[in-house]
Amino acid sequence: MNYSVKLSDNFKKEAKKLIKKYPSLKLELAKLFAQLAQNPISGVSLGNSTFIL
Quick one: pLDDT at residue 15?
A: 94
Amino acid residing at 23: P
Highest mean pLDDT among 2-11, 21-30, 36-45: 21-30
User: Residue 19 domain-assigned?
Assistant: yes
User: Residue 53 domain-assigned?
Assistant: no
Q: Is the model's pLDDT at 42 over the cut of 80?
A: no
User: Residue 50 domain-assigned?
Assistant: no
- The model's confidence at residue 33, banded by pLDDT at 50, 70 and 90, is confident
What is the mean pLDDT of the segment spanning 7-28? 94
User: Residue 52 domain-assigned?
Assistant: no
Q: Contact at 8 Å (CB) between 30 and 24?
A: no
Number of domains making up the chain: 1
Which domain range does residue 21 map to? 7-37
Nearest-10 Cα torsion for 52, 35, 42, 26: -20
